[in-house]
Amino acid sequence: MLTALYYPHVKMSTDLLKNALFLWDKIEYIAPNLHFEPDYHEPELAQAVSLFAGKYIPTDKEKQMVNDSIVDLLSQPLPEWFFVKVEDLHKDLRYTLYPEKLAPDTWRRLEKEGLANSINSKGFETSQQLGLTIMSILANCCAGTQKRLVTDQVSSYSALDRYLVTIGGGELGDFGKKSENSETLVTISLHLMNFKNVSLSRLIELRQKENTTNGAHIRVLRLNYLRKIEEYVNKLSQIKTPQDAEEIRRIFEREMKDDFNLLKDELKDEAQKVVFSSEMATAAISLVGSFLLPIISPTVLLAGGALYKRKVDYNTNRNKILREHPMSWLYSMNKIQAI
């Protein structure tokens, strides 16, 4: 199962859920405990979360890993902005975290340094920079090597970049960069398909169809598209100049446009074999006749059988074509009723 781990919040926006349904089998969010349930007022959002999202509870081992990272971080010669006392910050510049997400020792250390304040049982407050850095470290520890980190707060993570420069690691930075570039690439494809206006309920419908006996090939289409995205994300992670990134995006957009145009042409050819076949014409005439006759004649049954075989051939060829094109997943979004 391809799973993404969302951070830093516990509630996801409609746009983020659309991307999650579009790419991943499942998306998780970091919850403070098993009983926690985010409150979604919009029915569609609540349905999408209940069907395709799940909570992830940090383990004691992961909390210890986060604690070690934070202790290491605080031992570095960090800039002054990092050590802003919470009590000196305006409320709008503070960040609130659930206490259960970190180990008690971590909170004690942060409080001792003046970097966190307890706000009763509701949680702890830190500066926004430190809070986002902590959540990024926590998410990385929880994701391990198998889950992709996703966030809708990419522009707010300059603190994470500074942390990485200080520590000298770089691995966490790759996650942030890839998330941003994946979003860009998906947006390009959505624009080509005019898919931005597709409702969340339509995406839910398609994902539910994927889980039926007749919907297995839809998953193949989605994974085929995701592999194409990942291929370009990997290229973007190795860029050395902004010009490189622009060229990679340009090539991606061009190739996806070409692929989609070719896909439409191939599907059109397959469709014409059905639309202009004699079986289709015979069956249509026979169908009209069947409404006039009390009993369906053998001729009508024969024509219907021929049409059924042609329909099976068409679906088989169509699905083969779809599997060969990355853009087929996007094409299927607009053609869900035909799958």
DSSP 17-60: HHHHHHH-SEEEEE-SSTT------SHHHHHHHHHHEEEEPPPH
Using CA atoms, how far residue 97 sits from 85, 210, 213, in Å, is 16, 36, 43
- Average pLDDT for residues 83-111, to the nearest whole number? 88
Instruction: Supply the pLDDT for residue 102.
Output: 97
Token pair 């081992």 in the structure block, residue: 61
Instruction: Supply the pLDDT for residue 74.
Output: 84
Question: Looking at the predicted structure, is the pLDDT value of residue 283 above 80?
Answer: no
Highest mean pLDDT among 25-39, 252-266, 289-303, 317-331: 25-39
Instruction: Indicate the helix (H) or strand (E) that contains 148.
Output: strand 148-150
| Lowest mean pLDDT segment, chosen from 82-96, 146-160, 193-207, 228-242 | 146-160
Instruction: Supply the pLDDT for residue 256.
Output: 77
- Residue 26 in contact with residue 222, Cβ under 8 Å? no
First to last CA, the chain: 23
pLDDT tens digit string along 184-225?
A: 555 555 555 555 667 888 888 888 888 888 777 777 777 777
Question: Looking at the predicted structure, is the pLDDT value of residue 280 above 70?
Answer: no
Chain-centroid distance, C-alpha 144: 17
Q: Could you give the CA distance from residue 198 to residue 214 in angstroms, rounded to a whole number?
A: 23
Question: Looking at the predicted structure, is the pLDDT value of residue 89 above 60?
Answer: yes
Instruction: Indicate the helix (H) or strand (E) that contains 4.
Output: strand 3-6
Q: Could you give the CA distance from residue 196 to residue 203 in angstroms, rounded to a whole number?
A: 11
Instruction: Supply the pLDDT for residue 237.
Output: 67
Pairing status of strand 53-56 against strand 26-30: parallel
Tell me what the pLDDT averaged over the chain comes to: 72
Question: Looking at the predicted structure, is the pLDDT value of residue 64 above 90?
Answer: yes
Instruction: Supply the pLDDT for residue 103.
Output: 96
CB atoms within 10 A of CB 319: 16
| SS3 category, 166 | helix
Describe the crossing of helices 200-210 and 43-52 by its angle, rounded to 10 degrees: 30
| Residue 273 C-beta-side C-alpha neighbours within 13 Å | 15
pLDDT grade for 101, boundaries at 50, 70 and 90: very high
Between 269 and 307, residue with greater pLDDT:
269
Instruction: Supply the pLDDT for residue 114.
Output: 87
Question: Looking at the predicted structure, is the pLDDT value of residue 273 above 70?
Answer: no
Instruction: Supply the pLDDT for residue 324.
Output: 63
Using CA atoms, how far residue 285 sits from 271, 291, 300, in Å, is 20, 11, 9
Between 162 and 227, residue with greater pLDDT:
227
Residue among 325, 310, 311 at smallest CA distance from 217 = 325
Q: Could you give the CA distance from residue 321 to residue 316 in angstroms, rounded to a whole number?
A: 9
Instruction: Indicate the helix (H) or strand (E) that contains 320.
Output: helix 298-323
Instruction: Supply the pLDDT for residue 253.
Output: 80
| pTM exceeds 0.75 for this model | no
Instruction: Supply the pLDDT for residue 192.
Output: 52
Instruction: Supply the pLDDT for residue 215.
Output: 78
pLDDT grade for 16, boundaries at 50, 70 and 90: confident
Between 283 and 44, residue with greater pLDDT:
44
Residue % of the chain over a pLDDT of 70: 61
Instruction: Supply the pLDDT for residue 312.
Output: 46
pLDDT tens digit string along 293-338?
A: 333 333 333 333 444 444 445 455 555 655 666 555 555 555 544 3
CA angle, 236 as apex, 230 and 241 as ends, to 5°? Answer: 175
Question: Looking at the predicted structure, is the pLDDT value of residue 108 above 90?
Answer: yes
Q: Give the chain's largest Cα–Cα span.
A: 90
